[in-house]
Amino acid sequence: MKVLKNVFRLESFRPKQLEAICAAMDGRDVFVLFPTGSGKSLTFQIPAVLHTTGVTVVVGPLVSLIRDQVDALLKIGVDVVKLGGEQSDRERQEMSARDRLWSQDKPRLVYLTPEQLRVPPTKKLLESLYNRGQLVRFVIDEAHCITDWGRRFRDSYPELADIRKQYPKTPISALTATANAEVERDILCRLDMRDCAQFRLSFNRKNLYYEVRPKKSKKCLEEIAQDIKQQYAGQTGIVYCLSRTSCEDVAKVLREDHGISAKHYHAKMDHRDRERVQREWSEGKVLVIVATVAFGMGIDKADVRFVMHYSIPQSLAAYYQETGRAGRDGNPAQCILYYSFNDVRTRIDMIRKEDKSDDEKRWQEDDLWTVARYCMNDVRCRRQQVLAHFGEKFNPAHCNQLCDNCRDTRPITRMDHTEDAINALRLFESLLRMCKRNSGITKSQLVYALRGSKQKALVEKGFNSDALYGVLKSLPQATVDRLLDEMMVEGFLSSSQVQVGEYNQTYLKVCMLTISLRVIPTLTQSRLRWATKRL
């Protein structure tokens, strides 16, 4: 309590902080899974300050985050150094960090990146500290980076698993805000953390309202503008967009057509412009920021009343982080996501064009499908879905109707569309055979064909001669459309872009290989597998 008050100048502990600190003081391995902003750092910083006979080593993935944490600690007078990265003027004037660590007058904490751990002088230093019993604890921040499940692509992070072997007597703290059950198990296993004290906080943000709305391109922007003017007049918010150009376009429409105080923000902007826009927004001079995912790190504005996603987020974890910027003050705030399947396709095309390994691309696509599934699930409590992603069980009765699905009072009807899906695949397959080489069938053509459209383009190709042409005539177009989307989300169909003349055409493909791997909630998996095998 003394250190909390006198050093950190804070009044009281937040939930589970004291327990985690006590476990660390007992020299145990500690695993901390708290949402971002809930105060994980204190769980190792207070023990580090209290351990006056040794040094606590903190490994963090990003030089910029290390710099922020070190600066904040120096400001309150905690003796801390960092290895690697740029040294500040003050640090250059004083003894180098490494010399400090070799000297008698050691700092309480040293921050470094995993790459620094591999550098021979650092290794020598740590071994010497260890041999003299002065290595108090290893702290692994953002510990999910250590696992393949974490997929954060830091090559040197997985090597951290070796510290247990190299320094078997030094306890470890692993901290993360993004771990589902698999990630957690993998972290504990890789770091060989036995008898580990584990602390978790719920990720539920009780004051946030979640809603998914269908995105009808032009109308949607109009709806956003009206909402901002009527519901959130004079209040602060964020609108997330997929691309830099859409950020600029959306901000312009909000500003010029609707008189809303809005500005764009993205990574291509000059960094001074970016800082200025962020500052204006933080100070309330600009109310709405229209941004790509580049906007987020280090935002600490308490009164954000809405976060809207004009396009689909990249993953459910990203969605949680981005919406998490709303309502930090604990007052009600709204998170509205505009969903259209076209955005999923656009995003997939973006992913496929990126200069990344095939594995990374596949993970990114999988993440995207998870969000698509979330958007299309108009039955299950949104909170329950988001929290399940973090391995947290949530009883929808506690949602307090703070999501669109819990508010929706219409009765839920379940219909088995397996037969329809099989017929759709059969018709698709036989239409493909009728197509000329180098051409294919688009999703909307398949929808029309399933509903027996008399469109000239389809009739000319002879599609209507197939016995299954019009087999889903009795279903509304929206249902057939949705069925095909669902089949794509579940991996029965996929789309690929093909250049046809000057245009990009998106054709459908059947993906039989993925079928046995997926869990199909609405379609009967075994029957579909049987049917597609016969195709």
Binding site for ligand ADP (CB under 6 A): 10, 13-14, 17, 34, 36-42
| Spatial contact of 72 and 214, defined as CB atoms under 8 Å apart | no
State which residue, 42 or 126, has the beta carbon closest to ligand ADP.
42
Say how far apart CA 330 and CA 25 lie, in whole Å: 32
**What is the number of the residue whose Cβ is closest to ligand ADP?**
39
**Which residue has 């069938």 as its token pair?**
441
CA atoms of 382 and 406, how far apart (whole Å): 8
Length of the chain: 535
- Is residue 149 within 8 Å of 186, Cβ to Cβ? yes
> Do residues 348 and 506 lie in contact, with contact meaning Cβ atoms separated by under 8 Å?
no
Nearest approach, Cβ of 110 to ligand ADP (angstroms)?
A: 18
- Kindly state the smallest distance separating residue 141's Cβ from ligand ADP, in Å: 8
Smallest distance from ligand ADP to CB 329, Å: 13
CB nearer to ligand ADP: pick between 66 and 262:
66
Q: Which residue, among 112, 113, 178, has the nearest Cα to 144 in the 3D structure?
A: 178
Q: Residue 439: phi, psi to the nearest 5?
A: -130, 175
Rounded-to-integer distance, Cα 148 and Cα 150, Å = 5
CB of 69: closest distance to ligand ADP in angstroms?
Answer: 8
Please give the radius of gyration of the chain, using alpha carbons only, rounded to the nearest integer.
27
Q: Which of 152, 50, 283 lies closest to 263 in space, CA to CA?
A: 283
Token pair, residue 392, equals 């947290």
- In the complex with ligand ADP, the residue whose CB is nearer, 220 or 299, is 299
149 residue type, one letter: W
Residue 68 vs 429, nearer CB to ligand ADP: 68
38/88 with CB nearer ligand ADP: 38
Cβ proximity to ligand ADP: between 177 and 450 the closer is: 177
DSSP letter at 34 equals -
The two most distant CA atoms of the chain are separated, in Å, by 89
Residue 222's CB is within 10 A of a number of other CB atoms, namely 13
Q: Considering beta carbons, is residue 10 or 74 the nearer one to ligand ADP?
A: 10
- C-alpha 300: how far from its chain's center? 18
**Side chain identity at 276, as an amino acid letter?**
R
Q: For tokens 């998490």, name the residue.
A: 324
Q: How near is the Cβ of 175 to ligand ADP at its closest, in Å?
A: 7
Full strand arrangement of the beta sheet holding 55-59:
80-82, 109-112, 55-59, 135-140, 172-176, 30-33, 197-200
Tell me the residue ranges of DSSP E strands in 60-201: 80-82, 109-112, 135-140, 172-176, 197-200
Minimum distance from residue 35 beta carbon to ligand ADP (Å) = 7
We find the least distance from the C-beta atom of residue 136 to ligand ADP, in angstroms, to be: 19
Q: Which of these, 515, 513, 497, lies nearest to 505 by C-alpha position?
A: 497
Shortest approach of ligand ADP to residue 166 CB, angstroms?
26
CB of 45 to ligand ADP, least distance (A): 8
**Rounded CA separation 335/239 (Å):** 10
> Which of 203/374 has CB closer to ligand ADP?
203
Of 78 and 528, which has the nearer Cβ to ligand ADP?
78
Residue 272 backbone zone (phi > 0: left; psi -120 to 50: alpha; other: beta)? alpha
Q: Which of 57/288 has CB closer to ligand ADP?
A: 57
Residue (95 or 302) nearer to ligand ADP, CB: 302
- Return d(Cα 386, Cα 374) in angstroms, integer: 8
**CA–CA dist 222, 258 (Å, integer):** 9
Instruction: Report the alpha-carbon distance of residue 462 to residue 495 in Å, rounded.
Output: 23
- CB closer to ligand ADP out of 168 and 298: 298
Q: How far is the CB of 22 from ligand ADP (least distance, A)?
A: 15
CB of 44 to ligand ADP, least distance (A): 10
C-alpha 459 chain-centroid distance: 45
CA–CA separation, 306 and 442 (whole Å): 37
Question: Min. distance of Cβ 299 from ligand ADP in angstroms?
Answer: 12
Q: Minimum distance between the CB of residue 113 and ligand ADP, rounded to whole angstroms?
A: 17
Token pair, residue 530, equals: 């049987």
Closer of 68 and 159 to ligand ADP (Cβ) = 68
